Amino acid sequence: MGKNRRSDVDTVLIEATRQHTMIRQGYERALQDKSLDLRVPVKNLMENLRSALDYMAHDVYIACCQAVRRANGKPDPRKIYFPYGRTEEDFIKRVGDWLPNLGTNSPEVYRILLSIQPFSCGDSWLYDLCTILNTNKHDHLTAQTRMESETYSVESRHGSVTIPVNNPSRRVISSPGAVKIFGVPAEFREDGIYTAPSDELKHKHIKWVSFIFADTNMNVINMLDKAVVNIKQLAETLYQMI
């Protein structure tokens, strides 16, 4: 059964990688297409990632927990899911419910699951994935708010200076010649940085689009980038151990 699930995990992650690539291409189109709606593709990708996690959880249970429980006359858990928690207490409770005695039976596997929890690694991608997906599956599709940002940079071999531009809430303005950038007189305006002619300086105007999950400060693509990479790595690590 474990081998069958490993094959399932690989198949699901191949599809998740394809979906992730398509979503990233959609972000590129979003600069021109303001009607772009990524909610369904994002939901589908997150569902595949969560399925891969839950398949791995079943294999962890069979490899690390089932024999001991049955030897002690205890039944299998009614449900088995991949454990996650915002706090260590939440994580421990879910491990107890879904992968009972994992820490005792297989400390190394337990440490692997512990290492990707937000309170352990300092990054909440796993918790964010699971909690937002719960809303998408059981309540409604979580809206994604389009946010446009622009910056203007002046670069040289000594470093760079970057300011936000065309942003009413964040304005960086100076009088002509009041500042210098690497010795060159400059002026900060609402639409960019203007400098005296110089072969040493390079000017760069960048505009990009991001999507934020509604009612959060969470960048959609950043979370998905981390989730895809980390879950693929998790699968490689776990299946070398179980």
Residue ranges covered by each domain of the chain: 2-143+216-239, 145-210
Whole-number Cα distances in Å, 190 to 152, 167, 194: 10, 8, 11
Report which of 218, 72, 78 is spatially closest to residue 135, judged by C-alpha positions. 218
Can you count the helices (H) and strands (E) in the chain?
9, 6
pLDDT of residue 2: 44
Residue 166 CA to residue 71 CA, distance in Å, equals 68
Rounded to two decimals, what is the model's pTM? 0.76
Residue 229 CA to residue 125 CA, distance in Å, equals 11
The answer to whether 2 touches 59, Cβ cutoff 8 Å, is: yes
pLDDT of residue 39: 82
pLDDT of residue 83: 98
Per-residue pLDDT of the chain (242 residues; tens, 9 = 90+): 445 699 999 999 999 999 999 998 887 777 677 777 888 898 899 999 999 999 999 999 999 999 999 999 999 999 999 999 999 999 999 999 999 999 999 999 999 999 999 999 999 999 999 998 886 565 566 767 777 788 899 999 999 999 989 888 788 999 988 999 999 999 999 999 999 999 999 999 887 677 788 777 788 889 999 999 999 999 999 999 99
- Which stretches of 116-191 are assigned E, i.e. beta strand? 144-156, 159-164, 179-181, 184-189
